[in-house]
């Protein structure tokens, strides 16, 4: 084992606070110590009580605010030696936009955004690296070079990479501003009536499920005992509703297509918000295993990152549209704000 002791300095611009200690620590070790750790390696280090914060053993999910923190950590000798993303060998994705600073891919459903290790090459990061090798030196970790945000593995649509370090930091600072807009399309079951007036805003806080690292959960005051860590503010807005007659089954809840804009980027945000209101997304095996899957063209999650607006360096807005995937139902012939 090798021991390191250092001050972890977190600035107000670094993250959307509070930030988990394991995430901040991985970023610091990668950027400042040139030790790229996988999530599995970092978890093992915490599980073995090898991280001290101001002399006290701490957990991975410890939440930090901006400030200075004294860290002591013990690392196995071979830690972080091979964890660097590598180019895809056979996957491809269409390019929605590219210039000298930005690359936007149309990520297919079923393709992970990022790899868990160097051995996992068939990811959106791997596709971007094969097309644009120079992004390897951009960003905060060597497993996520240039990547501005993530999409769930089963979610398709627009995924943005920065080609230069300066553009990476500029776009990160713009990502939560009003000049950046993120709009999705989703097919949902409607077990409860959909809203009568649009736009309809959902602003329920979200937290990590106490019993599962793969699930998120609504974290209202009466549900705090079910989440770990501090709940995160989340805002999802439904801006259009269309009835999908081709997927409707007599005597069952009708299927609708929702157009959704998000203003925050919490993990599984759209899926959790919609499911909590009894409007689960079709194909969501984590939050709702729909009986309707046998009537769909595929078992994918029917969520698509459709439109994205970003400010370019010159101040002009860049409008990107990711075409709906093959098989997305097109027989939407009735605009509806009621049921």
> CATH number for the domain including 139?
3.30.2350.10
For helices 39-47 and 21-32, the axis angle rounded to 10 degrees is 120
Residue 44 in contact with residue 253, Cβ under 8 Å? Answer: no
- Total number of domains constituting the chain: 3
Do residues 200 and 116 both lie within one domain? no
Q: Which has the closest alpha carbon to 62: 26, 23, 16?
A: 23
What is the structure's pLDDT at 333?
Answer: 42
- What SS3 state is found at 64? strand
Question: Which of 240 and 177 is assigned the larger pLDDT?
Answer: 240
124: pLDDT strictly greater than 90: yes
Cα(324)–Cα(305) distance, rounded to whole angstroms? 9
- Distance (Å, rounded) from C-alpha 253 to C-alpha 217? 24
The whole-chain average pLDDT of the chain stands at 89
- Region of residue 315 (phi > 0: left; psi between -120 and 50: alpha; otherwise: beta): left
Residue 292: what pLDDT?
62
Reported as a pLDDT band with limits 50, 70 and 90, residue 294 is: low
The whole domain housing 18 covers 2-75
Confidence of residue 295 (pLDDT cuts 50, 70, 90): low
Residue 99 lies in a domain: yes
| Residue 95 and residue 105 in contact, taking contact as beta carbons nearer than 8 Å | yes
Q: Answer yes or no: is 294 within a domain.
A: yes
Please tell me the pTM assigned to this model. 0.78
Rounded Cα–Cα distance for residues 22 and 41 (Å): 11
Check whether residue 190 and residue 307 sit in a common domain. Answer: yes
With a pLDDT cut of 70, the percent of the chain lying above it is 94
Picking from 47, 75, 103, the residue at the C-terminal end of a domain is 75
C-alpha distances out from residue 187 to 36, 192, 201, 242, 253, Å: 38, 15, 18, 9, 13
Cα-Cα-Cα-Cα dihedral sign, residues 143, 146, 148, 152:
negative
What pLDDT band is residue 332 in, cutting at 50, 70 and 90?
Answer: very low
Tell me the C-alpha distance between 267 and 206, whole Å.
9
Kindly state whether residues 53 and 132 are assigned to the same domain.
no
pLDDT attached to residue 40: 78
**Is 57 in the same domain as 129?**
no
Domain match, 31 and 154 both: no
Angle at 32 between CA 29 and CA 36, to 5 degrees: 40
**pLDDT tens, residue by residue, 1-17:** 788 999 999 988 778 78
Is residue 18 a part of any domain in this protein?
yes
- Regarding whether 273 and 159 lie in a shared domain, the answer is no
Residues 224-245, mean pLDDT to the nearest whole number: 91
Residue of higher predicted confidence among 314 and 141: 314
CATH number of domain containing 17: 3.10.290.10
Alpha helices in the chain (DSSP H): 21-32, 39-47, 124-131, 165-174, 269-276
Domain co-membership, 165 together with 305 = no
Residue 88 lies in a domain: no
Burial classification of residue 6, based on how many CB atoms lie within 10 Å of its CB (0-12 exposed, 13-18 middle, 19 or more buried): middle
Same domain membership, residue 236 and residue 148: no
Question: Of 130, 158, 174, which closes a domain?
Answer: 174
| β strands within 110-262, DSSP E | 156-162, 181-189, 200-202, 206-209, 216-218, 227-232, 236-243, 255-262
């Amino acid at each position: 084992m090798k021991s390191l002791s250092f001050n972890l300095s977190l600035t107000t611009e670094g993250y959307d606070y509070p930030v988990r200690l394991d995430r901040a620590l991985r970023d610091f070790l990668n950027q400042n110590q040139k030790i790229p750790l996988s999530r599995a390696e970092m978890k093992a280090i915490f599980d073995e009580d090898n991280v001290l914060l101001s002399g006290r053993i701490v957990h991975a999910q410890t939440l930090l605010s901006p400030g200075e923190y004294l860290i002591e950590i013990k690392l196995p000798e071979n830690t972080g030696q091979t964890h660097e993303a590598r180019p895809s060998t056979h996957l491809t994705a269409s390019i929605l936009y590219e210039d000298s600073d930005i690359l936007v891919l149309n990520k297919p459903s079923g393709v992970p955004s990022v790899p868990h290790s160097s051995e996992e090459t068939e990811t959106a990061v791997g596709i971007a690296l094969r097309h644009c090798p120079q992004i390897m030196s951009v960003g905060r970790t060597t497993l996520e070079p240039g990547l501005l945000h993530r999409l769930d593995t089963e979610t398709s649509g627009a995924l943005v990479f920065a080609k230069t370090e300066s553009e990476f930091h500029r776009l990160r600072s713009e990502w939560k501003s009003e000049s950046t807009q993120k709009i999705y399309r989703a097919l949902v079951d409607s077990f409860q009536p959909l809203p009568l007036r649009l736009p309809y805003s959902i602003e329920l806080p979200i937290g990590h499920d106490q019993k599962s690292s793969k699930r998120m959960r609504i974290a209202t005051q009466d549900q705090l005992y079910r989440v770990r860590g501090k709940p995160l503010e989340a805002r999802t807005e439904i801006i259009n509703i269309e009835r999908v007659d081709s997927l409707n089954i007599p005597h069952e809840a009708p299927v609708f297509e929702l157009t959704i804009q998000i203003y925050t980027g919490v993990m599984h945000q759209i899926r959790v918000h919609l499911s909590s209101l009894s409007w689960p997304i079709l194909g969501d095996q984590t939050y709702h295993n729909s009986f309707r899957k046998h009537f769909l063209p595929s078992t994918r999650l029917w969520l698509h990152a459709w439109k994205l607006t970003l400010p370019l360096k010159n101040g002009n807005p860049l409008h990107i549209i990711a075409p709906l995937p093959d098989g997305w139902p097109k027989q939407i012939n009735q605009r509806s704000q009621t049921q």
